[in-house]
Structure 1
């Protein structure tokens, strides 16, 4: 059994539009598909309990090294090809000024 980080995406109804949540959960599973199945079952429960919509996107990442989570362990990674320069890339995907985050 390995540990996997699984990212699922949700839609929240918000005043004046929509909000989207990317949520990463940690699972011990026999395969990436098993981790996704477990995460999606939990995602459906989370969506029902919080009144949001699960959008059906789940991406998994197997923890490297010895596969045991600990301080500083990488739990998710995603590579995206882009022609954008670094500042434009960050603005487009991570700092569009519409994120709800603490500063």
Structure 2
């Protein structure tokens, strides 16, 4: 990659979350994919192109929502690949119940 001053820079990694809808099951999917790009905009463009490929031929359609996160370090074992901070007046239990554990998730069990 080349910086604004013309010098070479190391490629940067981004985690991009895209949201999909399955009208058949009335379900939503959030996927985080990892991209090497020179900007947030470029990482989103890559993820959105892949979102079209991913949803082609399956019941999920891409909703046009992509959120990118610049990784501090290249991806590896245990790397932080996406983070979203949301302000909320909800207490922790109500927050988790409202956004992550509504009872409508399609999940498996861990023994």
Please give the TM-score of this superposition, normalised by the length of structure 2: 0.85
Give the drift of 1:50.
1.9
Deviations 1:10-35 (A, max 9, x none): 001234xx100000101000111000
Moved over 3 A (4+): none
1:20 matched to 2:61: no
Ranges in structure 2 where 5+ consecutive residues have no aligned partner: 1-10
> Which structure has the bigger radius of gyration?
2
Whole-angstrom CA distance in 2 between matches of 1:49 and 1:62: 30
Secondary structure, in 3 states, of the residue corresponding to 2:32? Answer: strand
Select which of 80, 84, 91 maps to 2:86. Answer: 80
Aligned residues: 99
Please give the TM-score of this superposition, normalised by the length of structure 1: 0.91
Ranges in structure 1 where 5+ consecutive residues have no aligned partner: none
Q: Which residue of 2 aligns with 1:4?
A: 14
Select which of 65, 75, 79 maps to 1:69. Answer: 75
Give the helix-richer structure, 1 or 2: 1
Give the strand-richer structure, 1 or 2: 1
